[in-house]
Amino acid sequence: MFKRFGLFFLVNVGVMITISVITSILGLNRYMSSQGINYPMLMGFCLVWGLVGSFISLMMSKMIAKWTMGLQIIDGQSNNQEAIWLMNTVRRLSQSANLPKEPEVAIYESPEVNAFATGPSRGNSLVAVSTGLLSRMDQSEVEGVLAHEVSHIANGDMVTMTLIQGVINAFVMFFAKIVAWAVANAMRSSDDEGPSFLVSFLVEMVLYILFGMLGSIIVNWFSRQREFRADAGASKLVGSNKMVAALRKLEGVVAGDEEHIEHHKSMASLKISGSKKSFSELFSTHPSLRDRIDRLQSSRA
């Protein structure tokens, strides 16, 4: 826990320092003047903060996953037959998906039924599966899950979602700063020289939260669409039967394991599953398992 928190803290400090240097060199941090806000400069400032931060995180995603999740990378020297099967299966799927380079393959110790793909590009990626998934699914079902993750890589989903998240972050910052400045300016007395910094700061923080929640609805909608595309891609690689079987097995696990459901919510961004239909679906990164199964079955009807 402390290792993860420390790494998270150091990475974010490094990102903030890097972005601060970039905006200072470009002069974008001088968007506020005595005449008010320079809107083009503010948009440039926000885009740098939104996009650069997101892409730095993307570039470090594989390394961070290795450091924080205790991934055991599989190599050709392994004597574990299950590990060798995983590596060979990912290699075959990667070739079928025309990836420029096969992903690294890893196993990590966890009772949850989970798998994820990460990495900055189609040629620099990683696929990891949990021991819980390997213990609860047979090879045919695991192959469907692996095909789903390889499809994410082939579709360039990590880059796409990073770009979308970065743009949304930029607009959240842009509008929060504008509205906060307007509110503080309206509240100042005629004797004041400018808007109250404290009022502007507090309003800006509240708006970050509110606009961020609205922005997450857009980001999560795109995320759910990419899950459907990855399911379709997996069906092309291994057949829809294996993907449907994997989703059905996962549906049974989620339905019968309340502890898994609670842990699932906290790790939704990496999951191969999703929440049931409800208002909370707007904030879910994954469609419900039933929707995914129905989509696959209707496509082969």
d(CA 262, CA 275) in angstroms, rounded, equals: 11
d(CA 246, CA 31) in angstroms, rounded, equals: 52
Alpha helices in 99-196 (DSSP H): 131-136, 139-154, 157-187
d(CA 255, CA 89) in angstroms, rounded, equals: 29
d(CA 256, CA 69) in angstroms, rounded, equals: 25
User: What would you report as the CA-atom Rg of the chain, rounded to the nearest whole angstrom?
Assistant: 22
Quick one: tokens of 279? 């208002």
DSSP string, 19-45: HHHHHHHHTGGG-EETTEE-HHHHHHH
Catalytically annotated residue among 143, 149, 204, 227: 149
d(CA 169, CA 215) in angstroms, rounded, equals: 8
Quick one: tokens of 6? 């420390």
d(CA 151, CA 145) in angstroms, rounded, equals: 10
d(CA 204, CA 197) in angstroms, rounded, equals: 10
CA atoms within 13 A of residue 246's CA, in its CB half-sphere: 29
d(CA 31, CA 33) in angstroms, rounded, equals: 7
d(CA 203, CA 128) in angstroms, rounded, equals: 41
Instruction: Indicate if 149 belongs to the active site.
Output: yes
Which residue bears the tokens 């707007």?
282
d(CA 153, CA 148) in angstroms, rounded, equals: 9
Instruction: Please answer whether residues 113 and 253 qualify as being in contact, where contact means their C-beta atoms are separated by less than 8 angstroms.
Output: yes
Active site residues: 149
